[in-house]
């Protein structure tokens, strides 16, 4: 058997240590990657479950309720706008009628004052 010179033996030990360190780092990266992948999968399942209606507590159900309420509010606002328009028309008619009546009364008063 041939003996390995000490300077080569040192290089071989350093290379072996580097190989073991690299293997450990690779194993750590694989384990950490698996943990991260599992965590991402868990988060994905949670988010997906929130996007599916479950008749009450999911985010999708909350969004559906908000949209329905907004639709109802829009319908109510359209009705209120129509009512305000009708009230404005009625107010205009009342104002016109009052003006005409005041004109008529002023004419009668002037006529009465003129006859005195």
Q: Residue 81's pLDDT is what?
A: 96
Q: Residue 27's pLDDT is what?
A: 98
Tell me the average pLDDT across 7-23: 93
Tell me the average pLDDT across 78-94: 96
Q: Is the pLDDT of residue 23 over 90?
A: yes
Q: How far apart are CA 92 and CA 85, in angstroms?
A: 11
Q: Is the pLDDT of residue 6 over 80?
A: no
Residue 50 contacts residue 59 (beta carbons within 8 Å): yes
What average pLDDT is seen over the chain?
93
Q: Is the pLDDT of residue 50 over 90?
A: no
For residue 3, give Cα distances in angstroms to 7, 15, 63. 12, 18, 77
Q: Residue 79's pLDDT is what?
A: 97
Domain ranges of the chain: 7-51
For residue 7, give Cα distances in angstroms to 3, 11, 12, 21. 12, 6, 9, 21
pLDDT band at 4 (very low <50, low <70, confident <90, very high): confident
Q: Residue 78's pLDDT is what?
A: 97
């Amino acid at each position: 058997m041939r003996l390995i010179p000490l300077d080569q033996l040192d290089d071989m030990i350093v290379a072996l240590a580097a190989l073991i360190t690299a293997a450990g780092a690779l194993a750590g990266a694989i384990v950490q990657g698996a943990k991260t992948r599992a965590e991402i999968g868990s988060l994905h399942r949670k988010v997906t479950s929130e996007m599916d209606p479950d008749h009450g507590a999911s985010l999708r159900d909350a969004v559906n309720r908000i949209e329905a309420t907004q639709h109802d509010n829009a319908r109510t606002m359209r009705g209120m706008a129509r009512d305000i328009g009708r009230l404005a028309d009625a107010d205009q008619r009342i104002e016109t009628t009052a003006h005409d009546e005041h004109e008529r009364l002023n004419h009668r008063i002037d006529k009465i004052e003129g006859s005195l």
